[in-house]
Amino acid sequence: MAKGTRKTRTRSGTPERGESGPVAGTFPIDTGTCELVRDQYSDDSWIIQINGVPSSHVNVANPTVLDFEYMRWIAHLVDSERDKTERLRVLHLGGGACSMARYFAATYPDARQVVVEIDGALAELVRDWFDLPRAPLLRIRVGEARAVTETLTESTRDVVIRDVFAGNTTPTPLTTAQFTTHVRRVLAPGGIYIVNCGDTPDLQGARSEAATIGAQFEHMAIIADPAMLKGRRYGNMIIAGSDVPIGGQPALARELLGGGVPAHVWQDAEVRKFAANAPVRQD
- The DSSP-derived string for 236-265 is EEEEEEESS--S--HHHHHHHHTSSS--EE
Lowest mean pLDDT among 122-136, 143-157, 169-183, 262-276: 122-136
List, for residues 165-195, the tens digit of each pLDDT value.
Answer: 987 789 999 999 999 999 999 999 999 999 9
Mean pLDDT of the region 70-97: 95
The verdict on residue 281 lying in a domain is: no
Q: CA 242 → CA 102, 194, 195, 246, distances in Å?
A: 24, 9, 12, 7
Mean pLDDT of the region 100-111: 96
The verdict on residue 14 lying in a domain is: no
At 11 the pLDDT is 31
pLDDT reading at 108 higher than 50: yes
The verdict on residue 3 lying in a domain is: no
Lowest mean pLDDT among 148-157, 196-205, 211-220, 254-263: 254-263
Q: What's the pLDDT band for 7 if we cut at 50, 70, 90?
A: very low
CB of 197 closer than 8 Å to CB of 209: yes
d(CA 133, CA 141): 14
Phi then psi for residue 157, to 5 deg, are -135, 145
The verdict on residue 229 lying in a domain is: yes
Question: Percentage of the chain surpassing pLDDT 90?
Answer: 82
The verdict on residue 39 lying in a domain is: no
Across the chain, the runs of DSSP E, i.e. the strands, are 25-29, 32-38, 45-50, 53-59, 89-93, 112-117, 138-142, 157-162, 187-199, 219-224, 235-242, 264-266
Domain range for 265 is: 69-275
State the total domains in the chain. Answer: 1
pLDDT reading at 19 higher than 80: no
Mean pLDDT of the region 130-138: 92
pLDDT reading at 62 higher than 90: yes
List, for residues 45-58, the tens digit of each pLDDT value.
Answer: 999 999 998 999 99
The verdict on residue 228 lying in a domain is: yes
pTM, rounded to two decimals: 0.91
List of residues 6+ apart from 111 with CB closer than 8 A? 87, 88, 89, 90, 104, 105, 137
Task: Tell how far CA 248 is from the center of its chain.
Answer: 21
CB of 97 closer than 8 Å to CB of 56: yes
Q: CA 211 → CA 239, 268, 283, distances in Å?
A: 10, 11, 15
pLDDT reading at 267 higher than 90: yes
At 233 the pLDDT is 87
At 20 the pLDDT is 52
Q: What's the pLDDT band for 131 if we cut at 50, 70, 90?
A: confident
The verdict on residue 17 lying in a domain is: no
CB of 154 closer than 8 Å to CB of 186: yes
The verdict on residue 57 lying in a domain is: no
Mean pLDDT of the region 242-262: 92
Q: What's the pLDDT band for 258 if we cut at 50, 70, 90?
A: confident
pLDDT reading at 123 higher than 90: yes
- Residue 191 belongs to domain with CATH number: 3.40.50.150
